[in-house]
Amino acid sequence: MEEQGPFDRILQAEPPPKPRDWPAAGLVGLTVVLGALLLILVLPPVSIFDDGVQLASGASVTIVAQEELPPPPAGFASVSPLYDLFAPEELGAGTPLTVSLSTTVEEGAPLVFFTLDDDEWRQIAEAAAVNGGKAARAKLPALPPNLAVFQAREQALLVLGSLPAGAQPDERALGVISTLNPAGFVPAADGSVAGNVQPPPNLQLPVAPTISALAPAEVDAVNAILASPELRASHAQAILSLARDRGFAGIDLDYRAIDPALEADFVAFAQELSGGLRGERRSLSLTLPLPVRDGDEWDTLGFDWAALAPLVDAIKLAPEPEQDRYYQRAEEALAFLVPRVGSSKLFLTIGPLSRERGVDGVRTLTLTEALVLAGAPSLQGESPVAPEAAVQAVGQNLSGELGASGPRWDDTARAITFTYTGLGGARTVWIANAFSEAFKLDLARRYQLGGVAVEDVSRRTGDANIWPVVQQYAQGEEPALVKPNGELLQPRWAASGGRLEGDSGASTTWRAPAEPGTYVLTLIVSDGVVRVGQELRIAVQAAGVVSP
C-alpha cells in the first residue's frame, strides 16, 4: 500500500461497507475535491485540513488542525493536535473514526479521545492505537466540535542530567536523575568522534554521553559531515561503535547550531543512527533550539521536528538564556510543537545556573557567584578612620543611587533579579534556585511533557539545591509555586564592633568604636534560603596618629 501523506491521514470515518455506484462515487469524489479547493480559499493559510471523511450518506466531514494545543489534562500526554470538526449532518452513533497521531505509539495501546469544552477537557471515548501506532480509532456517540487524542501516563517522569566535561556530579542529583549525559565528545571532520568521557565509578544509572558541536570548528565539522552521504554513514557508524565498545545506554546529540540548509541531511543522518541504536536497544536524544515565531509563521531553524520525533527517545528544548523572555518563548514553542510531535518526547531544560545579561551577551553564574556579585560592599571615604567617627558603607551593586535595584522578585521571569551598573552599562542578573525552577517544572507538568533536562548536575552548582523540587516533579507531585519572603531578600549588615545605625538596606552608617583596631563590616545578601556575606575590613586609628 502506498504510504499516505500528512494531509491524507489526519481523520477518517469508517462507515459500514456497501456496494458502490462507481459513476456516483466519482461524482461525490469530484464534489469533495471542489469542496477542498473552496476551503483553501476561505480558511486561514496556517490551517491543516482534509475533507476525506465520508459518512454513510456520502457527505464529507471537514477538519482543521489548530496551530496550538492547550496543556493536556492531568495524567495524560498529548499524541495528536486539537482538530476542529465540521459536518453537514450529525454523525451516526457508533460510527468508527480514525485519527492520525502526531507521535507514534505502540500498536494497540489504549488511548482516549477528548474534546475541549469551555476551556475544559472532557473525555468522550476510549480509543486504541492502529496503523502501526500512527493513528487512533474509536466509536463516538456523536461528532464533537473538536477532538484531541491523549495517552495516560503510566511511567514516572524522566529527568535527564547533563554533566560538564571533567566535572563530578552532585550526589543529590544522582538520587533524582534517570539518565546521566556527561559531556566530552565532539565530532571530527573525518566523521570520527573525538574526546573522552569518564563516568563516575560505581554509577548505578544509565549513561548516554553527549556529543556536542557548539564551537565554530565543531559546527563546521558537523556541517561537512551532514553534507556528504559517505561521511554521514561513517559518523553514524563511529557513534554506534563508541556506544557499543563503551557499553553506553545511549547517545545524546547536541548539534543545535548546524546550517539550516542541511535539514533533510540531518533527518537522514538521524534515521541511520536511530536504526542502529534501536537495533541494539540503545537510546537517542537530541537538543534542538526553540522554534522562532515570526508573525503567523515559524522558523524551525533547520530542524524537521515531525520527522525527527519518531526517531528519538527525547528532544531537549534548548533554554532561552534571557530569563525575562523564557516563559513567552517556551510557552509559544510548546503550543506550536505539542500538536505536531506530541508531548511525551519533549523535555524542558531547567537548571541551577543563574544568568547575567549585559551588552556583551548572557553568561551563567552559580548561585553563590550571583549573590557575591549582588553584595559587594565598599566604604564611602578612606580608611583608617578616627575613633567614634561615623562612616558610610554601601553595597555598590545594591544602591539605587549607583544605578542598582537590589534583589526583588520578577513576575515575568518567575525569579529573583537585580540590576546594577557594570561593564558596558546596565546589567541584569536572574537567580536560579528552588523557587524559580519550581515554576519551570510546573510548565513541564502543565504540558505533560516526558520530563525535564537539567543543564548542569555538577557539584559546582549544588549551592542552588533544586533537587527536592525536581524529585517532587519526578514523582508526579505538583510543585509548590511560592515566592521567597520579601523580608529575607533585604540586605543585612553586621559589625564586629562599633555601632550600626540601621542593619538593613543597601547602605548603612557605622560609628567606629573608641578603641583603635581593625573591625569587620559584613554585608549579607540572600535568595530567601542561602545567605552569602562579604566582609569589609576597616582600620580605626588612635587619635593623634598620623597615617603613613
Question: What pLDDT score was predicted for residue 76?
Answer: 85
Question: What pLDDT score was predicted for residue 426?
Answer: 93
Question: Residue 99 domain-assigned?
Answer: yes
Question: Residue 386 domain-assigned?
Answer: no
Same domain? 190 vs 333: yes
- If one compares 312 and 203, the residue with the highest pLDDT of the two is 312
Question: Residue 426 domain-assigned?
Answer: no
- Residue 508: is its pLDDT beyond 70? yes
Q: What mean pLDDT is reported for the chain? A: 86
For the residues 400-427, what does the mean pLDDT come to?
Answer: 93
Question: What pLDDT score was predicted for residue 451?
Answer: 96
Same domain? 169 vs 256: yes
CA dist., res. 183 & res. 64, Å (int): 43
Say what the pTM is.
Answer: 0.77
Question: Residue 180 domain-assigned?
Answer: yes
Same domain? 130 vs 163: no
At 325, the pLDDT band (50, 70, 90 cuts) reads very high
Question: What pLDDT score was predicted for residue 155?
Answer: 60
CATH number at residue 292: 3.20.20.80
CA dist., res. 64 & res. 211, Å (int): 40
- Residue 51: is its pLDDT beyond 50? no
- Residue 88: is its pLDDT beyond 70? no
Same domain? 33 vs 148: yes
Question: What pLDDT score was predicted for residue 7?
Answer: 28
- Residue 28: is its pLDDT beyond 60? no
Beta bridge pairs of residue 56: none
Percent pLDDT > 90 in the chain is 67
Nearest to 287 by CA among 474, 153, 162, 103: 162
At 374, the pLDDT band (50, 70, 90 cuts) reads very high
DSSP assignment of 202-241 equals T--S-B--EEE--SHHHHHHHHHHHH-HHHHHHHHHHHHH
- Residue 387: is its pLDDT beyond 50? yes
Question: Residue 373 domain-assigned?
Answer: no
Degrees (nearest 5) of the Cα angle 125, 131, 136? Answer: 15
Cell of 155: 511511567
Question: What pLDDT score was predicted for residue 350?
Answer: 97
- Contact 162/177 with Cβ under 8 angstroms? no
Cell of 483: 515566592
Q: Which of 3-7, 53-57, 152-156 has the lowest mean pLDDT?
A: 3-7
pLDDT tens figures, 230-257:
999 999 999 999 999 999 999 999 999 9
Of 118, 152, 186, which closes a domain?
A: 152
Question: What pLDDT score was predicted for residue 106?
Answer: 87
Question: What pLDDT score was predicted for residue 139?
Answer: 86
Question: What pLDDT score was predicted for residue 22?
Answer: 36
CA dist., res. 464 & res. 456, Å (int): 11
For the residues 293-310, what does the mean pLDDT come to?
Answer: 93
At 53, the pLDDT band (50, 70, 90 cuts) reads very low
Q: Which domain holds residue 87?
A: 11-152
Question: Residue 496 domain-assigned?
Answer: no
pLDDT tens figures, 419-434:
999 989 999 999 999 9
Degrees (nearest 5) of the Cα angle 220, 222, 225? Answer: 110
For the residues 401-426, what does the mean pLDDT come to?
Answer: 93
Sign (positive/negative) of CA torsion 270, 272, 277, 281?
positive
- If one compares 477 and 156, the residue with the highest pLDDT of the two is 477
Question: What pLDDT score was predicted for residue 98?
Answer: 86
| Structural domain total, the chain | 2
Percent pLDDT > 70 in the chain is 86
At 99, the pLDDT band (50, 70, 90 cuts) reads confident
At 154, the pLDDT band (50, 70, 90 cuts) reads low
Q: Cα-flanking dihedrals φ and ψ of residue 48, to 5°?
A: -115, 120
Cell of 83: 482538530
CATH number at residue 112: 2.60.220
Same domain? 202 vs 274: yes
Beta bridge pairs of residue 453: 160, 349
Same domain? 101 vs 174: no
pLDDT tens figures, 266-297:
999 999 999 999 999 999 999 999 999 888 89
pLDDT tens figures, 482-507:
999 989 999 999 999 999 998 999 99
Cβ neighbors of 225 (< 8 A, separation 6 or more) are: 187, 189, 191, 231, 232, 234, 235, 269
For the residues 104-123, what does the mean pLDDT come to?
Answer: 90
Same domain? 146 vs 238: no
Segment (H or E) for 124: strand 120-130
Cell of 46: 496556517
Question: Residue 283 domain-assigned?
Answer: yes
Question: What pLDDT score was predicted for residue 544?
Answer: 61
Question: Residue 392 domain-assigned?
Answer: no
- Residue 390: is its pLDDT beyond 50? yes
For the residues 56-66, what does the mean pLDDT come to?
Answer: 66
Cell of 81: 493536535
Question: What pLDDT score was predicted for residue 394?
Answer: 94
Beta bridge pairs of residue 394: 378, 507
- Residue 522: is its pLDDT beyond 70? yes
Same domain? 146 vs 229: no
At 450, the pLDDT band (50, 70, 90 cuts) reads very high
CA dist., res. 127 & res. 104, Å (int): 15
- Residue 93: is its pLDDT beyond 70? no
